[in-house]
Amino acid sequence: MATLEIRDLHVTVGGDAESTEILKGVDLTVASGQTHAIMGPNGSGKSTLAYSIAGHPKYTVTGGTVTLDGEDVLAMSVDERARAGLFLAMQYPVEVPGVSVSNFLRTAATAVRGEAPKLRTWVKEVNGAMQALEMDKAFAERSVNEGFSGGEKKRHEILQLELLKPKIAILDETDSGLDVDALRVVSEGVNRVRASGIGTLLITHYTRILRYITPDFVHVFFDGRIVESGGAELADQLENEGYARFGVNEAAAH
């Protein structure tokens, strides 16, 4: 059992005195095996929450705490966060020319596990995970993220998730830009890792992915904080009503 606890988190962006407060007191607890969906309009601070937990240098935590099983996540380096069992897709560079997917994954697995995976079982592991994600074998030899389509990027994200087996995974907009096929494959991947006991924080603007992944909890994010929490039915409600009730003039769905 692992528990990620976010308490009264305040974050500014910009880094100087004139910096703007984006997160205004976020409270959230994600435990192993639970799937939490964070839904909210554009600009509400969802990605800021993900980046802050990831330790992105652009974001300054000005108050509150983030702990993983009682350990202070905010005091950890980005690498330490990964080793502690946090998976944050955006912690890795966007493009790594000259580094193949296969080498990248092995390096990441070595860092997280503390020792290099045995080559023979590793190849089997990677092939199995790639098959499950309906990925071509040749993909393993491509340079990380170089010329990846939107769907390939997301599959690569879920591939990492399946191989690195973190305690808690934070997925920001995993559903954006996916066609129906890719969305299904990616959702199945998320459901698989969920069944294996990983706690997931699924950040999304749209309700579409929630037709494939039924969250245990849904949180509405607005103006830097969670303004409402509920079960999966809250997502259905947002799909029908949008965020209008929270003073936002846009539809949540479509």
* Residue 58 site contact among Mg ion, ligand ADP, none (CB < 5 to 8 Å, cut-off depends on kind): ligand ADP
Using CB under 6 A as the binding rule, whether residue 124 contacts ligand ADP is answered as no
Using CB under 6 A as the binding rule, whether residue 176 contacts ligand ADP is answered as no
Phi-psi region of 66 (alpha: psi -120 to 50; beta: other; left: phi over 0): beta
- Of the candidate spans 30-38, 47-55, 92-100, 135-143, the one that interacts with Mg ion by CB under 5 A turns out to be 47-55
Which CB atom, from 43 or from 150, has the smaller least distance to ligand ADP?
43
Containing H/E element for 170? strand 168-172
- Of the candidate spans 9-17, 46-54, 151-159, 190-198, the one that interacts with Mg ion by CB under 5 A turns out to be 46-54
- Of the candidate spans 41-49, 93-101, 158-166, 213-221, the one that interacts with Mg ion by CB under 5 A turns out to be 41-49
Which CB atom, from 104 or from 221, has the smaller least distance to ligand ADP?
221
The separation between CA 53 and the C-alpha centre of its own chain, rounded to angstroms, equals: 10
- Of the candidate spans 38-46, 79-87, 109-117, 245-253, the one that interacts with Mg ion by CB under 5 A turns out to be 38-46
The values of phi and psi at residue 84, to 5°, are -70, -15
Q: Which amino acid, 74?
A: L
- Residue 173 burial (CB count, 10 A): 19
- Of the candidate spans 40-48, 67-75, 77-85, 155-163, the one that interacts with Mg ion by CB under 5 A turns out to be 40-48
Which CB atom, from 85 or from 242, has the smaller least distance to ligand ADP?
242
Q: How far is the CB of 245 from ligand ADP (least distance, A)?
A: 17
Question: Using CA atoms, how far apart are residues 123 and 110, in angstroms rounded to an integer?
Answer: 14
Say if CB 13 and CB 43 are below 8 A apart: no
63's tokens: 């108050």
HEC secondary structure over 149-166? CHHHHHHHHHHHHHHHCC
Site residues for ligand ADP, 46-75, by CB under 6 A, read: 46-48, 58
Which CB atom, from 153 or from 165, has the smaller least distance to Mg ion?
153
Q: How far is the CB of 192 from Mg ion (least distance, A)?
A: 25
Using CB under 5 A as the binding rule, whether residue 47 contacts Mg ion is answered as yes
| Interaction site with Mg ion (CB under 5 A) | 42, 46-47
| Interaction site with ligand ADP (CB under 6 A) | 13-14, 22, 40, 42-48, 58
